[in-house]
Chain A
């Protein structure tokens, strides 16, 4: 079986999350192995959330805002 990394993306409610919606409206295509979690600001993402995601088995974490 081929390796499929699991990516967690923290997305800011005001920009990245809205941009991800817009990407949909424009029918842009991107790999389906990312799971987006909406936060109120990328500044809300506690360092512990990132390390925790890794320790729970995520292969990559993106903090976007």
Chain B
């Protein structure tokens, strides 16, 4: 491919003449390479038609059930002793559907499904293999167990950020939104009897260290405000926000909150609200009101912090085990945000839910179904074709010196000995194409041109260099 869009016209838009010259070079380079291409044989391997799903939150359970309902055996691995993940702490979806009963139903279905093997209090500690043929080690309280599976779905979720500001942990009656939900569900008097509530948004989100939006918190606070107003219209409710993101149809909740008299006050990062304890039952919140142009003082019975969502620490371990990518914040990174949104760059590996990015339960469940759908494209056949970009020995040049065996990161190269016509023995390398990832470390190491990666031979690269230098 001559990459004249992303790597030329878009990055040199200020220098059209040079960009055109570069485009001509890029096309010439591509053509010079194409002229030296050889047809590559298709590589086909068998597929173990079962799945491993890591994480037993709503996402992992949904993917496991979808796959099992389609007839594929699933190993579901959950680190804790409970299924349901973060959703166990939530009350309602944004549409007002109760989450608890839905989770219980999923939990029961997962536990009774004949095709789902549940591994509770377990983690994956090691894995090898490739699409269609993974072997993972599951560590449970009873010891390690190796399982074979064709695809892997990572749904390890996330957790709430623990705030260090706004009096959290030191002042009474300052809660995270999850704690607020819990107290509400239990009918706690600190919520039931409270008259004035202040919600502070973006606590830990969209500031240095965590520049991303945690996505669910605006909707959660606005929805909670509406419910509090519905229970008692005389309550005073303030939402202190930076940008309000009740996206899509969630906008209806925002409109409803406005109609019911919930007060929205914008604050900026350089002038965060201040929270001080007045007495054990009351807090003072001071926020700069940009309409009145003066500080506004609110005496509140409860302050609710809409805290950031942070990724599970497990992402880093699993990234190492399965060679996955994560982004700068530690969330799982998809192969392409638009074209392959639930795939990892590596084949046969998929993701779902909070582990990928903050998202609401309904979005996590939708993504989990997408991951199951993508996984089924692999599982539905007992064979699969692999990339043909593989190390290819040149037997005429290879003298079996074995330098490449040591550098191969995938242990894909072995030495074979053969008797020659003259009766002596000669050795040369052999490549396991299923294990080879085509990285070409062997090619760079070989002093004798005894191996090359199909599609990236030295001749092809030299031809590109020559074309680039307009020779």
Q: Which residues of A contact B (CB under 8 A)?
A: 6, 8, 14, 20-25, 27-30, 32-33, 35-37, 39-41, 43-49, 52-53, 56-58
Contact = CB atoms under 8 A, between A and B. Distances in A.
DSSP majority for the A interface?
mixed
A30 B11 contact: yes
A40 B6 contact: no
DSSP majority for the B interface?
helix
Interface in B425-443: 437-441, 443
Contacts of B18: 32-33
B461 A37 contact: yes
A24 B441 contact: no
Given A40-B389, A49-B461, 6 more contacts: A8-B469, A20-B7, A27-B10, A30-B12, A35-B22, A46-B446
Contacts of A46: 443-444, 446, 458
Interface in B3-50: 3, 5-8, 10-15, 18-19, 21-22, 25-26, 29
Contacts of A41: 439-441
A1 to B, nearest CB: 14
Contacts of B240: none
B307 interface: no
Which of A22, A56, A58 counts the most chain B CB atoms within 10 A? A56
B466 interface: yes
A22 to B, nearest CB: 8
A24 B10 contact: yes
B440 A40 contact: yes
A53 to B, nearest CB: 5
Contact of A49 (B10, B453, B465): B465
Contact of B10 (A25, A43, A57): A25
Nearest to B335: A18
B26 to A, nearest CB: 7
Contacts of B471: 56-57
A36 B12 CA distance: 14
A57 B18 CA distance: 19
Given A29-B13, A40-B456, A43-B444, A52 B438 contact: no
Nearest to B461: A49
Nearest to B444: A46
B426 to A, nearest CB: 24
A44 B440 contact: yes
A33 B8 CA distance: 11
Contacts of A29: 11-14
B345 interface: yes
A58 B465 contact: yes
Contacts of B11: 20, 23-24, 27-30, 32
Given A35-B468, A53-B465, A56-B469, A44 B6 contact: no
B462 interface: yes
A44 B441 contact: yes
Contacts of A32: 8, 11-12, 15, 18-19, 21-22
Nearest to A22: B6
Nearest to A12: B439
Contacts of B12: 29-30, 32
A53 B440 CA distance: 19
A58 B5 CA distance: 24
19 contacts: A22-B6, A23-B7, A24-B11, A28-B11, A29-B11, A29-B14, A30-B12, A35-B468, A36-B7, A37-B465, A39-B461, A40-B453, A43-B407, A43-B444, A44-B439, A44-B453, A46-B443, A47-B444, A56-B465
